[in-house]
Structure formats: structure tokens, C-alpha cells
């Protein structure tokens, strides 16, 4: 019993020492030094948003790495700055792993990608992009539900009524 | 005196209310969009904006009704007041959406929309509601043709002195003797292009795998922003989101069409194609477009930024076209552009932004007709100097018709050119005061004043509030070409002196 416990403990220590938590590179740092980072391999975590477009044998997706990729305003996230995004080129196989593309109505899939950054990609007419060779869906996206604010709705309807009454009185006077 | 003053304000408020009434109908477009996509919070925000604009217009009609015709000064003041009120109301649904840090940020975006600038302070753009995106792009579409032009299509009969408000919004060409017919023709041409352009762009997007509903929405939004030389985009990557050279070519064509003088466009539309080759404004514009394109291309070649000629051509073409038509679309992230383009290439873009496109179009900047008149004026003066004093010198140019240059035209063109240049540097000084580099500050200041929308990265929600206010004023002054706002300042000065 004690021997087993020791073995499990040693195994856990071994796993802890060898495993690395996924360390995402910072997109802002990559983009702020485009010439220096051109051709280097990076790992990024972010939300898939917007539209996907076909390009040759693969697809381009938009990967956002900003506070809103963790929690968008539509989900009740706080205002923390503008969007930060990069196009990522994927093979068809990698593209098929993605299901949800984020927008106002949907929380997009959170993915980890590893790929080569191109300040000006020769394969894609000079576009700035990342060619991913690995993609893992960390967290699946989901449709978002909206709650209507009753105060906003009440004030709007009341003022609309006031506007109609005012229109009636003005026309009557004329 | 006070009775005359009161009568003047009565007519100013009454006619402003009339235009605000016409404006209230534009809010139905995003309202319907919100209903279609079940964005009910946004639906009530747009209903609130409609209600406020209706209350203002009915109250002004009930309290200030008048038959008095607008004089020139009052016409200018109506334009300024209408622009201020319309922008204030338009910012309400933006602010209520929760995607703006403050009401000032929302007002900044509505001013950027109506002036067809394209600088933005929206946050989390990629998750924003479809109805808000529709509203942002629709503001640019209205602003491109003109808020007053929109009102004139409905109200010219009840708006006495309509031509003064039309001119106050920096439009001075008449397509028809009747101002209502002119306004209707402007909208007819714009709507036709919107329909055709939306079909083309949506078709491109569907062909590269975008789902039909999103393809149609993006098609409408990109087309509204292209034709109106606005530059708002539904994605934070702007045109880079689509990775399609052909789509970029289509956008470039629509930007150029939108930046052409309505009167020249109208003549070409009616089959008088030779006007395009003879017109001094078109020729001057073509000359400096090619010049700035060449400067930027040489810059890219010398900095070895791109590996192939085609790539250099593509990026230079889109940035310069976007700058010279004062649109603001981009296919390269700002940091990458400022990190890889050399100063010569950036200078080409800055110069293109500063010069701008045609007068009486959807575009901004100093404008080709003024550059042409400035140059012709210099040529005229040189001729006057080298000829005997007794000789009478005429210098001719062709714009719609053959005409002789007058001292007054040259004086006005020179005055407005100088005003633009002064404003470019005033904005840059404020940027420098807040610690931004000179080149970036000047670039952003030109972009705001010339209603372009390309950014060096300064415009962001975290920039100082005073700088936001300065950019708002620059966008406004640039769009109205100083006249209407200077009339307001002059009017306020007179009132202060009398006291």
C-alpha cells in the first residue's frame, strides 16, 4: 500500500516536471515587431470569430486574442480596449475541427494553434497571416442568449407614445 | 433687434426640426435589422432614438412654425444645428449597445460615420450586434450623400431657402435646376450602385465560402462604406478578413466611383463620357493619384518590404486608393504597416489623404478642384507678370463647361486649402502634446480632417478625451469644409460683441 502510494506520488511528480502548461504567445508582441518575427513559429490561444473563407487547398479563419475572446461584451464582459486579431490559414482537416464562429449571437470556439507567422505571406499574395500546423479546440463555443432590459424597453415605449401624442396635438392645432 | 433675433432663431429651429423629422425615418433600417435578428435590446434603443427625434421635430413644429424663408446665415446655422442634433441622437443606440466606453466615444463614432471618416472607438467589434453594424454603415451611407440631401428629397417644398442648406453641407453642384430633383438624382445614383455593388461583393463572398446570410450582410456593409468612401468594416481585420484580390479590385472601383464629383458622374451617366477626359478636376485627381501611387511604390521597392512586384502593386494600390478617395479601408494590420513600410511609402499615403478626391462627392480632403484652381491661379499670376500691364489676361479651365478663372475663385480655393493645411498641423500638435510621435500624429490628424479613417494606431478608446474632441471637430470641419461652422463662430462672435 505504502509502496503503491510512493509510486503514484513519484509518477505525479514526473508528470508535473515533464508536462508544460500551454503558454500562449502574445499576438500584440508578434505584430508590433513584424520584420523580427517573420518566419518564426508561435503558439497562440484565442477565439475563432467572424467568417471563414476558402483559399486554395485550405481555409482562412480569424483568431482573436483580446479580453473579449475570454468574455465578449454580448456575454457581459467588461470594456477593455479594441479587438486584436490575426488571420490563420488552416488545412481542411484542421478547419473541420472548428464548429462555432464568434459574433453577437455566438461564442466562438477557443482554440490553441501552433504555426508560422508571415509578415507578408508569399503563398497568399503578401497577406499578413499565420500558417497553422496544429490546432486544438480548448473550449467549444455555444449560442448566446440575450436578456431584454425592461427599463430600456419601458422608457422607449413610453417616449414613443409621447411622440405619437405630440404628433396628434400638432396636427390638430394645424 | 431682439424681435428680429427671435424670429431668426424661430426659423432656424423650425427648419432644423423639419430635417430631424426626415432623419428619424432612417432609424427604421437598423430597427428592422434588430427585429429580424432578434436583437431586442438594440430594437428598443433604436425605438428610443426614433422617439426622441420625433419629439424634437414635433415640438419644433408646434412651437416655432414659420413661413419665413431662410437667409444665407440661417441656412448655414440650420446645417450646423441639424448635424449636431442628428449626431447626438445617432450616438444614443451606439452608447446603449454597451460597446462604447462612454457617450463621447459613441458620439465620436457617429461623427466618424456621418463625415464618412471611418476612425472608430467601438470595442469588441467582432462581437457587435448586426443592427449596430447596419446602423454604423448606414450612417456612412447617409453622410456620403449628405444629411441635408436626404432631407431635401422629402422636404424641399416645406423647406424655404433649401439651396442655402444644400450649399452649407459643402455641395455646390446642381444636376437639375430644381434642388429636389438634384437631391433625388443623387440618391437614385447611389441606390443603383448600392444594389449592383452589393450583388457583386456578396457574390464574391459566397464564392469563397461565406454563408449566404453573412455574405449578403457583409456585401451591403462593405458596399455602403465603399461607395460613401466611409471605411467602416464589419471585421476588425477590415478587408484583410476576406483574402481576395478580386474583391479588393471591386472595392477600389466603387471607392473611385463614389469619390467622383456628382455632376461629372451625372454627365458620364448620361453618355457624355468626354467630360471625364476634359474635366480639370478629374485630370488633376488622376495626376496626383498616379504621383502618390508612384511614391508609395518606390518606397516599397526601396524598403524591400514585399518579395514580388504584384504584391507591391496590390498593397500600394489599395492603400493609396483608400487614402486618395478618403475611404480608409486597409488590407494590412496597422502595426505591420508601420513596422514594415518605410517613410517614403508612408509619405505617399499621407499625401494622398491630404489631397483627397472631388468636391461635391462623398469624399473629403482638400479636393482636386481646389488644387487645380491653386495651380491655375499661380499660372495666371505668372502670365499677368510677364505680359504688358495693359493686356487683359484670361486663363481658362474646363469643369462641366469652359470657364475663365476669376480672382474670387482662386482666393476661395487658396483660403480653403490653407485652412485644411492649418488644421492638419493643429491636430498633429495636439497629438504631439500628448506624447505621440510627430509622424504618427500628423498621419492621424490628416486622416481625421480629410475624413479618411486610416490610422497610425493613435485612435483608440484609451486616448485622451481632449484628443477625441479635437478629432471630432476636425472631422466635422473637414466634412462641412469650414463654411458652415465658421458662420456659426462668426454669429456667436457678433452676439458676444453686442452684449
Q: Which residues lie closer than 8 Å to B288 by C-beta, 6 or more apart? A: B324, B351, B352, B355, B368, B371
**Choice between A9 and B364, residue whose per-residue pLDDT is larger:** B364
pLDDT of residue A82: 81
Q: pLDDT tens digit string along B114-140? A: 999 999 999 999 999 999 999 999 999
Report the gap between the CA of A174 and the closest CA in chain B (Å): 9
Q: pLDDT tens digit string along B327-369? A: 999 999 999 999 999 999 999 999 999 999 998 888 899 999 9
Report the gap between the CA of B55 and the closest CA in chain A (Å): 5
Confirm if B335 and B421 have CB atoms less than 8 A apart: no
| Contact check, Cβ <8 Å, A73/B123 | yes
The mean pLDDT of A18-44, rounded to a whole number, is 84
Specify the residue for cell string 450616438: B91
pLDDT range class, residue A76, cuts 50, 70, 90: confident
The mean pLDDT of B97-119, rounded to a whole number, is 96
Of residues B76, B59, B73, the one with CA closest to residue B14: B59
Report the gap between the CA of B457 and the closest CA in chain A (Å): 11
| Contact check, Cβ <8 Å, B55/A125 | no
**Domains of chain A listed by start with CATH number:** 24-148 (2.40.50.140)
pLDDT exceeds 80 at position B228: yes
Q: Judge whether A165 is closer than 8 Å to chain B, CB to CB.
A: no
| Contact check, Cβ <8 Å, B340/A152 | no
pLDDT range class, residue B203, cuts 50, 70, 90: very high
Angle at B418 between CA B412 and CA B422, to 5 degrees: 145
Q: Which residues lie closer than 8 Å to A97 by C-beta, 6 or more apart? A: A111, A135, A136, A137
Q: Give the bridge partners for A91, in sequence order.
A: A58
Report the gap between the CA of B480 and the closest CA in chain A (Å): 29
Nearest to B51 among A33, A84, A156 (CB): A156
CA separation for the pair B282, B274 (Å, rounded): 11
A-B contacts (CB, under 8 Å): 190
> What residues in B contact A117, CB-CB < 8 Å?
none
Q: Terminal CA-to-CA distance of chain B, rounded, Å?
A: 13
Nearest to A159 among B38, B52, B339 (CB): B52
pLDDT of residue B208: 95
Report the gap between the CA of B42 and the closest CA in chain A (Å): 9
Confirm if B65 and B21 have CB atoms less than 8 A apart: no
Interhelix angle B212-227/B245-258, nearest 10 degrees: 40
Q: Show me where the domains of chain B are located.
A: 2-257, 270-419
pLDDT of residue A19: 46
Best mutation site among A26, A28, A32, A34 for testing chain B: the one with the most B CBs within 10 Å? A34
> What residues in A contact B129, CB-CB < 8 Å?
74, 104
pLDDT of residue B201: 97
Tell me which residues of chain A, numbers 1 to 20, contact chain B at a CB-CB cutoff of 8 Å.
none
pLDDT of residue A21: 47
Amino acid at each position: 500500500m505504502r509502496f503503491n502510494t510512493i509510486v503514484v506520488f513519484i509518477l505525479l511528480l514526473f508528470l508535473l516536471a515533464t508536462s508544460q502548461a500551454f503558454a500562449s504567445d502574445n499576438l500584440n508582441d508578434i505584430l508590433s515587431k513584424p520584420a523580427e518575427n517573420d518566419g518564426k513559429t508561435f503558439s497562440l490561444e484565442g477565439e475563432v470569430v467572424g467568417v471563414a473563407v476558402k483559399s486554395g487547398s485550405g481555409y482562412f479563419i480569424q483568431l482573436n486574442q483580446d479580453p473579449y475572446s475570454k468574455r465578449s461584451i454580448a456575454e457581459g464582459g467588461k470594456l477593455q480596449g479594441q479587438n486584436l486579431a490575426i488571420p490563420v490559414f488552416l488545412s481542411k482537416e484542421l478547419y473541420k475541427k472548428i464548429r462555432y464562429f464568434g459574433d453577437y449571437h455566438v461564442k466562438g470556439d477557443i482554440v490553441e494553434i501552433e504555426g508560422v507567422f508571415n509578415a507578408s505571406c508569399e503563398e497568399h499574395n503578401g497577406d499578413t497571416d499565420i500558417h497553422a500546423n496544429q490546432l486544438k479546440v480548448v473550449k467549444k463555443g455555444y449560442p448566446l442568449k440575450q436578456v431584454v432590459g425592461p427599463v430600456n424597453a419601458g422608457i422607449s415605449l413610453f417616449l414613443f407614445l409621447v411622440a405619437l401624442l405630440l404628433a396628434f396635438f400638432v396636427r390638430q392645432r394645424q | 433687434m431682439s424681435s428680429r433675433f427671435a424670429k431668426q432663431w424661430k426659423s432656424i429651429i423650425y427648419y432644423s426640426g423639419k430635417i430631424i423629422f426626415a432623419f428619424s425615418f432612417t432609424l427604421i433600417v437598423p430597427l428592422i435589422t434588430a427585429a429580424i435578428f432578434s436583437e431586442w435590446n438594440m430594437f428598443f434603443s433604436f425605438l428610443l432614438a426614433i422617439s426622441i427625434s420625433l419629439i424634437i421635430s414635433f415640438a419644433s413644429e408646434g412651437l416655432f412654425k414659420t413661413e419665413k424663408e431662410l437667409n444665407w446665415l440661417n441656412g448655414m446655422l440650420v446645417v450646423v444645428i441639424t448635424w449636431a442634433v442628428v449626431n447626438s441622437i445617432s450616438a444614443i443606440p451606439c452608447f446603449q449597445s454597451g460597446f462604447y466606453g462612454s457617450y463621447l466615444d459613441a458620439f465620436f463614432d457617429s461623427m466618424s460615420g456621418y463625415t464618412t471618416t471611418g476612425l472608430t472607438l467601438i470595442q469588441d467589434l467582432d462581437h457587435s450586434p448586426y443592427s449596430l453594424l447596419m446602423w454604423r454603415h448606414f450612417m456612412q451611407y447617409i453622410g456620403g450623400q449628405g444629411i441635408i440631401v436626404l432631407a431635401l428629397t422629402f422636404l424641399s417644398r416645406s423647406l424655404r431657402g433649401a439651396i442655402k442648406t444644400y450649399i452649407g453641407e459643402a455641395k455646390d453642384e446642381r444636376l437639375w435646376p430644381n434642388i429636389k430633383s438634384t437631391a433625388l438624382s443623387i440618391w437614385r445614383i447611389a441606390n443603383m450602385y448600392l444594389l449592383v455593388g452589393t450583388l457583386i461583393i456578396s457574390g464574391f463572398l459566397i464564392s469563397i465560402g461565406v454563408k449566404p446570410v453573412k455574405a449578403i450582410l457583409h456585401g451591403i456593409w462593405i458596399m455602403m462604406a465603399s461607395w460613401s468612401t466611409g471605411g467602416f468594416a464589419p471585421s476588425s481585420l477590415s478587408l484583410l478578413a476576406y483574402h481576395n484580390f478580386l474583391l479588393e479590385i471591386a472595392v477600389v472601383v466603387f471607392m473611385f466611383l463614389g469619390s467622383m464629383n456628382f455632376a461629372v458622374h451625372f454627365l458620364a451617366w448620361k453618355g457624355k463620357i468626354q467630360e471625364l477626359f476634359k474635366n480639370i478636376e478629374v485630370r488633376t485627381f488622376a495626376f496626383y493619384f498616379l504621383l502618390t501611387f508612384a511614391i508609395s511604390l518606390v518606397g516599397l521597392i526601396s524598403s524591400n518590404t514585399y518579395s514580388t512586384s504584384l504584391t507591391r502593386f496590390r498593397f500600394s494600390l489599395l492603400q493609396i486608393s483608400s487614402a486618395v478617395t478618403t475611404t480608409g479601408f486597409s488590407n494590412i494590420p496597422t502595426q505591420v504597416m508601420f513596422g514594415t513600410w518605410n517613410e517614403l511609402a508612408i509619405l505617399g499615403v499621407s499625401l494622398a489623404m491630404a489631397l483627397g478626391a472631388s468636391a461635391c462627392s462623398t469624399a473629403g480632403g482638400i479636393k482636386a478642384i481646389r488644387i487645380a484652381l491653386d495651380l491655375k491661379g499661380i499660372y495666371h499670376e505668372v502670365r499677368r507678370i510677364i505680359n504688358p500691364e495693359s493686356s487683359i489676361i484670361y486663363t481658362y479651365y474646363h469643369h462641366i463647361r469652359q470657364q475663365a478663372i476669376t480672382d474670387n475663385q482662386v482666393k476661395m480655393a487658396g483660403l480653403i486649402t490653407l485652412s485644411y493645411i492649418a488644421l492638419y498641423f493643429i491636430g498633429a500638435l495636439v497629438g504631439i502634446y500628448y506624447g505621440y510621435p510627430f509622424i504618427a500624429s500628423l498621419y492621424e490628424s490628416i486622416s481625421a480632417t480629410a475624413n479618411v479613417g486610416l490610422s497610425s494606431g493613435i485612435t483608440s478608446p484609451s486616448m485622451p478625451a481632449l484628443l477625441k474632441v479635437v478629432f471630432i471637430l476636425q472631422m466635422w470641419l473637414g466634412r462641412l469644409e469650414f463654411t458652415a461652422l465658421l458662420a456659426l463662430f462668426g454669429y456667436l462672435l457678433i452676439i458676444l460683441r453686442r452684449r
